Structure 1
Amino acid sequence: MTKKLIIFRYRELFNILEEIKENFEFKLEFYENERELENLENDNLSDYLVITKKKLSNLKKQIIIDKSPININDLIQILNINFLKSKFIEQSKIDLGRYNLDLNSRILNQNEKELELTEKESSILIFLKQSEDPVKIDQLQEKVWGYNSELETHTVETHVYRLRKKINDKFYDNEFIISDKKGYFLNEKKK
């Protein structure tokens, strides 16, 4: 995905950056109209930043530069840091269909409800999400715990049981982690 830097109503800065844009790893655009900004949040364009002179409401990824002159090297450093932060935040969110998992905080959420998970619980959900086929207990033991399959399997079963119970207690959903004779899998269909 291409990074996009949008300069909003700051023509002088846009003109300066336009002259040196071949040195950037992002696309440079100038917006004059607030309506153009409304589409940013709706288009799922995750890698963008907006530079403005004053704070705009309802816009998450903005950098306010209200003092000039600004050192161009300082500006480029600010942009790089903000693009990296944006990428880190986007990569930490995992879509599990019914829920979203934030890897940084280990919080499973649905709408306004949040459930704090342990590191193992998060790892179980991620492994189940990444698996195309149902996952057997010994696979979870090996991949999530790093155990040899000859060890007792009750650890995995107990963790999955507790995770299911936590999800059911918080979200009233006992159909998210499914088990059958083939193994465990996630039911990612929206409720």
Structure 2
Amino acid sequence: MNNHNLAIYELDELYNIFVEINKDINFNVEKTDQHQLSNLSLKSNTLILTKKEIPGLNNQIIFNKFPTSIFKLLEKINIEFIKKNFHEQSEILIGNYNFNINSREMFLKDNKLKLTEKEIGSIVYLFKANKPVGIQELQSEVWGYQSQVETHTVETHIYRLRKKILKVFKDDYFIISNDNGYEINKKK
């Protein structure tokens, strides 16, 4: 089942066309009315197809150029879903910090820190683990090293990452270590 939804507002004929070709499109289609618009605007997996821009409404695709090819319209809708997914997957909030995964940057108020691919990978992995993560697991999951290999790569990278975070954000406790491994301090 597809998890993308297209809500069509005041375009009844277009809704009927989408219902007719439903098996050939990769999103769900629903008709909506004015009362449902604000609730649909808040749903992260929904785009709203309208004739004209509705102020204060998120996730709109304005469709006001007639006639048009159905294939061009489908392409535009699919591109908007891709953009939406890209944006939603690129930003995460960890404690007081914002992370942009795509640009590999960490933000707190007006301070910004550029991270390497492995640094952002380590932070995201530790955050998603929700528990202390051992060195061997980080070696395997973030660096792709076999656990039999004797290396201090993880310790060195975590040490350097902690120093960078301390220098820019004055935070010595973002990544904490204990007997079970490393974890993100979510108390801040």
Give the TM-score normalised by the residue count of structure 2. Answer: 0.76
1:123 corresponds to: 121
1:66 paired residue among 56, 64, 67: 64
The alpha carbon displacement at 1:137 in A equals 3.4
1:178 paired residue among 176, 183, 187: 176
* 1:10 and 2:11 matched: yes
Equivalence map 1:29-178=2 (5 Å): 29-33=30-34, 36-42=36-42, 45-110=43-108, 114-131=112-129, 133-147=131-145, 149-151=149-151, 153=152, 155-178=153-176
Amino acid at match of 2:85: K
How many percent identity over aligned positions? 44
Q: Distance in 2 between matches of 1:112 and 1:9?
A: 43
Give the TM-score normalised by the residue count of structure 1. Answer: 0.75
The alpha carbon displacement at 1:25 in A equals 3.5
Asked if the contact 1:141/1:149 (under 8 Å) is kept, the reply is: no
Deviations 1:129-151 (A, max 9, x none): 34354233344344433456423
Amino acid at match of 1:174: D
Asked if the contact 1:138/1:149 (under 8 Å) is kept, the reply is: no
Q: Distance in 1 between matches of 2:59 and 2:108?
A: 23
Q: 1:84 to 1:128 in 2, by over 3 A?
A: same
Q: 1:41 to 1:13 in 2, by over 3 A?
A: closer
Q: 1:172 to 1:9 in 2, by over 3 A?
A: farther
Instruction: Report the 3-state secondary structure (helix = DSSP H, G, I; strand = E; otherwise coil) of the residue aligned with 1:51.
Output: strand
RMSD value, Cα: 3.0
Q: Which runs of 5+ in 1 are unaligned?
A: none
Deviations 1:70-123 (A, max 9, x none): 111221222223223323333334453543433211123456754321112112
